Structure 1
Amino acid sequence: WPPTYFVIVINAEKIVLTGKKLQQKKYYTHSHYPGGLKTTTAGDMIAKKPARIIELAVYGMLPKDKLGHQLQTKLEVYAGAEHPHQSPQPDVYDLRG
């Protein structure tokens, strides 16, 4: 079998959004009950669950089928620099650093 690859994203709390996205970008969830729509701004998401913003951005780029759902399980996002994963040869990507 081919080796299994995972993507581990750290420091999600340091995400930077340009323009007025902190106040104007909205994330929606629904409880499936009448009137159950909840809205959260990007600024609130960064304060409460910064890893969720990265997850939703990546999930939006994946295909909406069985393959996309399998790929979602290969993503791990952490708000800080600490994570429980070990790798013999990790590939570090410095983004606009």
Structure 2
Amino acid sequence: GKDKPTYNPKKERGDVVVVLNAAHVHLTHDKWNTKLYRWHTGYPGGLRSRTAREQWEADPTELIRNAVNGMLPKNKSREARLEKLKIFPESEHPFEGFPLVPFLPKPRLLQDRGLGWALPQHLALVRWCPPSLLLTPRGPGLGAAAQGFEPANPERYRFRLRTSPGLQGGAGRPVVGIEDLLTEEERRALAAAGQQGV
């Protein structure tokens, strides 16, 4: 609610945030197997833990809820703010009648600083993201953006692809492209923003 003229840090006047497609979350590297979620039952020896994959299988919305919970201030307003966060695993939600405003991140301009290799022309106005989520001004998907890509250190790049299941799209992982998460209207808006250099 910081964008409102009535903003007051002591009062909860923010909007309700609705997160869709939480089941299609993407984690980098091997965090599906190495990231742990811990809690305590309250009894002696009651420390419990789950990997990110186990947590996703139990409840995919908890990955996002825990991430947001860790970013909020550690005070009494945290619970009130978390109550305004509504997370749904797929695109179905009970807020159809409400005027929802989609949040589109502004593209971050990449600049060629002359560090030894040239930035490909088709990546000049693209926000950096993992290759599986690449959206170019020419349209979604890897398509034209994958052409002409040459890693600075090919040997290290091959090693990273070989050792990181997060970059391989291993079996059972909920990896989708950004084109699957956006509507046609949002795709056009994001592509137009990338071409204008906003």
* TM-score, with structure 1 as normaliser: 0.87
Q: Pick from 79, 89, 96 the counterpart of residue 99 of structure 2.
A: 89
Distance, in Å, in 1 between the alignment partners of 2:48 and 2:14 is: 36
Q: CA RMSD in A?
A: 1.9
Q: Pick from 23, 27, 37 the counterpart of residue 27 of structure 1.
A: 37
Distance, in Å, in 1 between the alignment partners of 2:68 and 2:97 is: 22
Residue 56 (structure 2) pairs with residue 46 (structure 1): yes
Of the two structures, which has the highest relative contact order with CA contacts closer than 8 Å and spacing of 6 or more? 1
Distance, in Å, in 1 between the alignment partners of 2:56 and 2:39 is: 16
> How many residues are matched?
96
Residue 89 (structure 2) pairs with residue 79 (structure 1): yes
Distance, in Å, in 2 between the alignment partners of 1:55 and 1:70 is: 13
Q: Pick from 5, 25, 28 the counterpart of residue 15 of structure 1.
A: 25
Distance, in Å, in 2 between the alignment partners of 1:39 and 1:90 is: 36
Deviation per CA, 1:45-91: give whole Å up to 9, x if none. Answer: 11121100100000100011122222111101111111112454311
Distance, in Å, in 1 between the alignment partners of 2:97 and 2:68 is: 22
Mark the runs of 5 or more structure 2 residues left unpaired by the alignment. Answer: 1-5, 7-12, 106-132, 134-177, 179-198
How high is the sequence identity, in percent, across the aligned residues? 33
* Amino acid in structure 2 at the alignment position of 1:70: A
Distance, in Å, in 2 between the alignment partners of 1:89 and 1:39 is: 39
Relative distance call for 1:41 and 1:85 in structure 2 (3 A) is: same
Higher normalized strand content (fraction of residues): 1
Distance, in Å, in 2 between the alignment partners of 1:4 and 1:24 is: 34
- Which has the larger displacement, 77-86 or 52-61? 77-86
Distance, in Å, in 1 between the alignment partners of 2:75 and 2:42 is: 22
Larger radius of gyration: 2
Could you tell me how far 1:37 is from its partner in structure 2? Answer: 0.9
Any idea what SS the aligned residue of 1:80 has?
coil
